[in-house]
Amino acid sequence: MTGAALTRFDRRKDGSGFRDWAKSAFDAALAQSGLTAGDIDALFVASESDFFHFQLNPASILASELGLVGVAATRCEGGGASGQLAVHAALRAVQSGAARHAVVLGVDPSASSLSGDAIRDLYGFSFDGWTDGMTGLTATALYALSYQAFAKRHGTTMDDLAAVTIQNRGNAGGNPNAHLPRSDSAAAIGQSPVIASPYHRLHCSPLSDGAAALILSAPARVPANRNAAPQIIGAGAASDHMHLSHRADPGDFTAKTMAMARACAAAEISPQDIDLAEIYDAYAGAQLQAISALGLSDDLSNDLSRGVFAPEGRCPINLSGGLMGQGAPVGAIGVAQTATCALILEGRYHAALQPRILPRYAVADTHGGVCTTAAVTILAQGGTAG
């Protein structure tokens, strides 16, 4: 991972557009890598929907915008998992020898280009469009039903939802690029409007604008000044039934468990070895479901109350603020999570959030649908995995 960069995530009011954010993230990642545009063989663009930027075939447009005309340009899409799927596609291109260096570029104007109501209606077609979509089920309602099933079995409470919300938005306070740094009390969270019970507005991630970029390089091609760069040591993806209602347990993120098992097998580590995680917290409860599905805790409520996932804990989660705090420009999310892990593993993250002792293994966890498509990537400190 020779280059990693993110733009601010927020609702842009400065007249800039998605091509500007893409260029800014790409330039910063390329500068970090020490490479030039001529070294790049492939571009993988993650962007969830043409509805957001009103640009079909955005990968070819961005190849031109980034000064990469001639490279193999591919768009990767899997709903919320788009960014991580693009990381995986770039990884395979480099592993296969098809590319010496590959760029992953995630970008979406999820906040500024359409109204919140229009985006909510479009998101309703992220699940089975012909059943849930036509029924008018929203993302929040489906996530709420899934979380209720999880909470019933695991005994998690409204206090746990508040704790996740407070921690993620508190972490975002140390991230100058974050969309929603806040310090709401549990009472204030409980008083925000109910969107789909048990989820109140403050349990939900915002819609954001932004971009993130990575440069993946074949080990033999890494520039000398980047020999200590973090490495991707495992990647795994999986899918679950498109109907939440047809799953054995609608509260389980089974695809995530499968994706994690595949990534851990490739990395030759176990989930207990992970000491940093960026998790797909589209909603506060989804973070709890993900921790459980990824195998990061055997005793969820106890680990939460002991601060295992807090900034000073054994395995800090969403130091960036996650989707809830940092923000959620959909295509950029998985790329941003992976970039964040890389920057932290290398000790280059925002000073207020950078752990003093560098973590060894990090997982970037992303999904689309109600974990209908899951994709996780495991990174190691440079040198750890040889």
Q: Which of residues 1-20 bind other proteins (CB under 8 A)?
A: 15
Task: At 125, list the tokens.
Answer: 């077609």
Q: Does 358 bind other proteins (CB under 8 A)?
A: no
Query: What is the per-residue DSSP string for 128-177?
Result: -IIIIIHHT--HHHHHHHHHHHHHHHH---HHHHHHHHHHHHHHHTT-TT
**Contacting range for other proteins; rule: CB under 8 A; set: 85-93, 143-151, 258-266, 293-301:** 143-151
Q: Does 154 bind other proteins (CB under 8 A)?
A: no
Closest to other proteins by CB, 71 or 144 = 144
Task: At 120, list the tokens.
Answer: 């909510």
**Residue 222 Cβ, how far from other proteins at the closest point, in Å?**
41
CA nearest neighbour of 350 among 331, 367, 329, 325 = 325
User: Phi/psi at 270 (nearest 5 deg)?
Assistant: -115, 160
d(CA 287, CA 235): 20
**Residue 268 Cβ, how far from other proteins at the closest point, in Å?**
32
**Residue 186 Cβ, how far from other proteins at the closest point, in Å?**
19
Closest to other proteins by CB, 73 or 238 = 238
Closest to other proteins by CB, 96 or 115 = 115
User: Phi/psi at 294 (nearest 5 deg)?
Assistant: -80, -10
Q: Does 128 bind other proteins (CB under 8 A)?
A: yes
Contacting residue, 6, 66, 142, 267, with other proteins by CB under 8 A:
142
**Pairing outcome for strands 72-76 and 42-46:** parallel
The count of other CB atoms within 10 Å of the CB of residue 253 is 29
Residues sharing a CB contact under 8 Å with residue 92, sequence separation 6 or more, in sequence order: none
Q: Does 199 bind other proteins (CB under 8 A)?
A: yes
Contacting residue, 37, 122, 137, 218, with other proteins by CB under 8 A:
137
Q: How far is CA 267 from CA 67, 217, 226, 262, 281, in A?
A: 34, 18, 21, 9, 24
Q: Does 145 bind other proteins (CB under 8 A)?
A: yes
**Residue 145 Cβ, how far from other proteins at the closest point, in Å?**
5
Contacting residue, 64, 98, 130, 183, with other proteins by CB under 8 A:
130
Closest to other proteins by CB, 72 or 137 = 137
Q: Does 285 bind other proteins (CB under 8 A)?
A: no
Query: Which position has the token pair 């995630």?
Result: 106
Q: Does 157 bind other proteins (CB under 8 A)?
A: no
Closest to other proteins by CB, 134 or 352 = 134
The dihedral region occupied by 322, where left means phi > 0, alpha psi between -120 and 50, and beta the remainder, is: left
Q: Which of residues 259-278 bind other proteins (CB under 8 A)?
A: none
3-state class (DSSP) for residue 247: coil
**Contacting range for other proteins; rule: CB under 8 A; set: 26-34, 124-132, 183-191, 278-286:** 124-132
**Residue 385 Cβ, how far from other proteins at the closest point, in Å?**
38
Q: Which of residues 221-260 bind other proteins (CB under 8 A)?
A: 243-246, 250
**Contacting range for other proteins; rule: CB under 8 A; set: 142-150, 260-268, 309-317, 318-326:** 142-150
Which residues is 5 bridged to in the sheet? 213
Q: How far is CA 162 from CA 155, 207, 249, 300, 335, in A?
A: 15, 20, 24, 15, 27
**Residue 20 Cβ, how far from other proteins at the closest point, in Å?**
14
Q: Residue 57: is it exposed, middle or buried by C-beta count within 10 angstroms (0-12/13-18/19+)?
A: exposed
Binding site for other proteins (CB under 8 A): 15, 54, 120, 128, 130-132, 134-138, 140-142, 144-145, 148-149, 193-199, 243-246, 250
